[in-house]
Chains A and B, each alone.
Chain A
Amino acid sequence: NAGVTQTPKFQVLKTGQSMTLQCAQDMNHNSMYWYRQDPGMGLRLIYYSASEGTTDKGEVPNGYNVSRLNKREFSLRLESAAPSQTSVYFCASSEVPARAYEQYFGPGTRLTVT
């Protein structure tokens, strides 16, 4: 059981470039989440997917898009990266939305935009 996996682990982008962060879980969870973590700001929710086929905005969705590819996979896309998107990105999953208090996190992707 790998839990929640994320690729890549590190990425450096130039302003204006695009990229997709990949996330997969093998726990048969219905709900998946994308967060960003910045110093002094804690974790902030970008987008989440309560179940396969649904996605919804979180606290800081601007500049991002998501795709719930299937039950296992939830990707985050930056269409035109900006330096303000330099952050550590975490993907998480929970069994169902009602059990969102128990989320399982991936190891994170460290993204730098120059």
Chain B
Amino acid sequence: QKEVEQDPGPLSVPEGAIVSLNCTYSNSAFQYFMWYRQYSRKGPELLMYTYSSGNKEDGRFTAQVDKSSKYISLFIRDSQPSDSATYLCAMMSYNQGGKLIFGQGTELSVKP
């Protein structure tokens, strides 16, 4: 079993829809939870990170962490065609030397 599981999709939604992306994990030592966005043939870029549990909002993006269920989510409101990309969740435990463990990535397509 992988430490971090993510549904690879692909996920296709109409413009303006609310998108929900999710990851589950098995290592309870993870403390930092990240979402990276990767456009086609580009390197990933950090979208948001959350420390421990709770919610974090940044514009149209909301990240949620539920440590009791070992489940994290990224919500995108009013999705735009420019949001079409692969979204990678990643997790980190500080006592593991800062190494990131990535999910497989979910490919999202927002249709105009």
Contacts and interface: CB of A to CB of B under 8 A. Distances in A.
Interface string A70-103: 0000000000000000000010101001111111
A24 interface: no
Given A97-B97, A100-B99, A42 B34 contact: no
A48 B96 CA distance: 12
B98 interface: yes
Contacts of A98: 94, 98
Nearest to A108: B43
Chain B: number of interface residues, binned into ranges: 20 to 34
B42 to A, nearest CB: 6
Contacts, number: 63
A43 interface: yes
B44 A101 contact: no
B45 interface: yes
B46 A103 contact: yes
Contact of A101 (B6, B34, B43, B88): B34
B102 A42 contact: yes
Contacts of A101: 32, 34, 46, 49, 90, 92, 98, 100
A40 interface: yes
Interface of B: 4, 6, 8, 32, 34, 41-46, 49, 88, 90, 92, 94, 97-100, 102-105
The 7 closest A-B pairs by CB, nearest first: A100-B98, A105-B43, A97-B98, A42-B102, A101-B32, A43-B102, A42-B104
5 contacts: A42-B4, A45-B99, A45-B100, A90-B44, A108-B42
